[in-house]
Amino acid sequence: MSTEKQIIISGVGGQGMILCGTLIAQAAVLHDGRRATLSSEYGVETRGTFAKSDVIISDEEIYFPDATEPDLVLCLAQPAYERYAGTLPPDVPLVYNTDEVTPRETGGRQLGVAIDHLARQLGNPATANIITMGIAAGLLDAVTPEGAKAAIAGFFSKKGEKVIALNQKAFEEGLKIGRELKK
């Protein structure tokens, strides 16, 4: 049985999809002792065009860095949703941001979460990507909460304890949501 988990995190430039994927991969490799690959795609423009990160986490060798059979797809913006809605097997969850995406009936497993709203409630809209990281961790158990929080602390270490605490809280909120969605 494979321990591999493939995650696609998608949105538009400026939403932090690349950082989200990077932190998940770092959590897996640096803190959980697993293997991971990260591949990213984004437009030449800085903001507003399609962007995504493919993260693959495994206890075994990973031979191809792109998620070809995702276990989870997260869509934070309409262009990302349009790319994946209706293309996934029925058992693969597609989590979409209800603040940015208008869903359509596709027959797949679609789960809506008000990610932007939650980020604003936490006090900083920029934490939406870290909430997304938590949702992925909660749904798939691909990284441990401890590993994820350590990766967050490492990345934000120069920003100070307040920023680290805010982002770890955002992760915890997403983790709770992910665990609820898994039920």
Query: Which domain, by its residues, includes 141?
Result: 5-182
Summarize pLDDT for 75-119 with one digit per residue, the tens. Answer: 999 999 999 998 999 999 999 999 999 999 887 899 999 999 999
**Closest Cα to residue 117, out of 170, 51, 62?**
170
Instruction: State the Cα angle at 108 between 107 and 113, rounded to 5°.
Output: 120
DSSP tag of 33: -
Strand pairing report for 93-97 and 109-113: parallel
**Closest Cα to residue 35, out of 53, 62, 68?**
62
- pTM across the whole model: 0.93
CB 147 within 8 A of CB 31: yes
Summarize pLDDT for 156-179 with one digit per residue, the tens. Answer: 999 999 999 999 999 999 999 999
For residue 47, pLDDT beyond 90: no
Structurally, how many domains does the chain consist of? 1
DSSP tag of 65: S
CATH of the domain at 137: 3.40.920.10
